[in-house]
């Protein structure tokens, strides 16, 4: 992975994609999660041409780019409230034109404004519900798990752990616009959301509260990062099950010991996508099976006479 210096920081990712970015270490971690581990394409999550994706908590746009690259026939609506990240997302999304609809706002239970605690060096942990102690412990857990897995250079970094955390959690306060999911659905005339991805640092229930009851049937699949604080993971799970979804939860090895979980929700009535590896049955063999069943039925009927 190569990087360029200068005011506009850019990197060439291992897959050859050139992007703008906010922080190098964080960008590498997001690439690994999204493009290598494919955390938003697990547990039966599928996309087809003509589908619509809502990327809530877009950051610099890596998941949006993942969808644009792997599913050229899919439209993406991506939401990022922090202006510095939205500017980078806009640059990264530019080559894909009108397929990507960008919104410089957060999604919540009601429209308005709110103060976002923005961490320029750990932007993925920026939150409308900041708790620096929780955020520090989450990052500490991640770093120690990386060291346990033998990631190069992490052990050296941890010699200066407290200094590193102090730098990573330098904060700014930004006033950001909030909208609701249903408001955007109405304004954009969205008839169906085939995948809702949510990574919003403790605002996940707020995002779902902004989906009117009449709009829940439009939602087909969802993947959320859920912070398991109190009973939040159970509350989000119950909310999806109440609305007719099958729910699976898992936690990546890198996040073991933290409060971060991934929740996957698929509507019970969702049609299964065609399996290209499954061969159609041979017509002659199928006819043979039908004739065999008919023969056995005739024999059974004769035995009753």
Over residues 64-85, the pLDDT tens digits come to: 999 999 999 999 999 999 999 9
Between 49 and 160, the more confident residue is 49
Average pLDDT on 162-167 reads: 71
- Residue 153 confidence (pLDDT): 58
- Residue 182 confidence (pLDDT): 98
- pLDDT, tens digit, 9 for 90 and up, residues 252-273: 877 787 888 999 999 988 654 4
Between 251 and 272, the more confident residue is 251
d(CA 67, CA 52): 10
pLDDT surpassing 60 at residue 160: no
- Residue 257 confidence (pLDDT): 79
pLDDT surpassing 80 at residue 178: yes
**Do residues 38 and 223 touch, judged by C-beta distance below 8 A?**
no
- Residue 170 confidence (pLDDT): 85
Strands 195-198 and 221-227: parallel
Most confident of 3-17, 80-94, 290-304: 80-94
Domains of the chain: 41-267 (3.40.50.150)
- Counting residues of the chain whose pLDDT is more than 70, the rounded percentage is 78
Average pLDDT on 113-138 reads: 89
Which among 173, 170, 168, 172 is positioned nearest to 142, based on CA atoms? 168
- pLDDT, tens digit, 9 for 90 and up, residues 221-240: 999 999 988 899 999 999 99
Can you list the positions of beta strands (E) in the chain?
2-4, 10-12, 18-20, 52-56, 75-79, 100-103, 106-107, 112-118, 172-179, 195-198, 221-227, 245-250, 260-267
Q: How many helices (H) and strands (E) does the chain have?
A: 10, 13
Q: What are phi and psi of 24, to 5 degrees?
A: -65, -50
For the chain, the helix, strand and coil percentages under 3-state DSSP, each to the nearest 5: 45, 20, 35
- Residue 7 confidence (pLDDT): 46
Average pLDDT on 287-304 reads: 48
pLDDT surpassing 80 at residue 298: no
State both tokens at 163. Answer: 């200094």
- Counting residues of the chain whose pLDDT is more than 90, the rounded percentage is 64
- Residue 287 confidence (pLDDT): 42
d(CA 104, CA 88): 11
Between 275 and 198, the more confident residue is 198
């Amino acid at each position: 992975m190569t990087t360029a210096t200068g005011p506009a920081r850019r990197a060439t990712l291992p897959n050859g994609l050139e992007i703008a970015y906010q922080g190098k270490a964080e960008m590498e971690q997001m690439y690994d999660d999204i493009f290598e581990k494919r955390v938003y394409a697990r547990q039966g999550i599928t996309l087809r041409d003509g589908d619509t994706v809502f990327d809530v908590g877009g950051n610099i746009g890596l998941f949006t780019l993942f969808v644009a690259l792997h599913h050229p026939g899919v439209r993406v609506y991506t939401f990022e409230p922090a202006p510095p990240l939205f500017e980078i997302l806009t640059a990264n999304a530019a080559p894909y034109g009108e397929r990507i609809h960008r919104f410089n706002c957060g999604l919540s239970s009601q429209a308005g404004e709110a103060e976002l605690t923005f961490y320029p060096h750990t932007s993925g942990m920026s939150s409308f519900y900041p708790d620096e102690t929780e955020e520090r412990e989450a990052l500490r857990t991640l770093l120690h798990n990386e060291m346990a897995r033998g990631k190069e250079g992490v052990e050296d970094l941890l010699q200066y752990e407290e200094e590193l955390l102090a730098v990573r959690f330098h904060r700014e306060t930004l006033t950001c616009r909030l909208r609701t999911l249903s408001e955007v659905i109405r304004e954009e005339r969205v008839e169906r959301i085939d995948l809702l991805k949510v990574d919003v640092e403790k605002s996940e229930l707020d995002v779902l509260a902004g989906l009117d009851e009449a709009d829940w049937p439009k939602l087909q699949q969802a993947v959320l990062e859920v912070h398991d604080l109190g009973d939040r993971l159970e509350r989000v799970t119950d909310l999806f099950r109440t609305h007719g979804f099958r729910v699976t939860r898992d936690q990546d090895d890198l996040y073991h010991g933290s409060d971060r979980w991934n929740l996957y929700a698929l509507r019970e009535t969702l049609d299964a996508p065609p399996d290209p590896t499954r061969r159609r049955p041979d017509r002659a063999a199928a006819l043979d099976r039908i004739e065999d069943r008919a023969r056995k039925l005739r024999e059974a009927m004769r035995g009753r006479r």
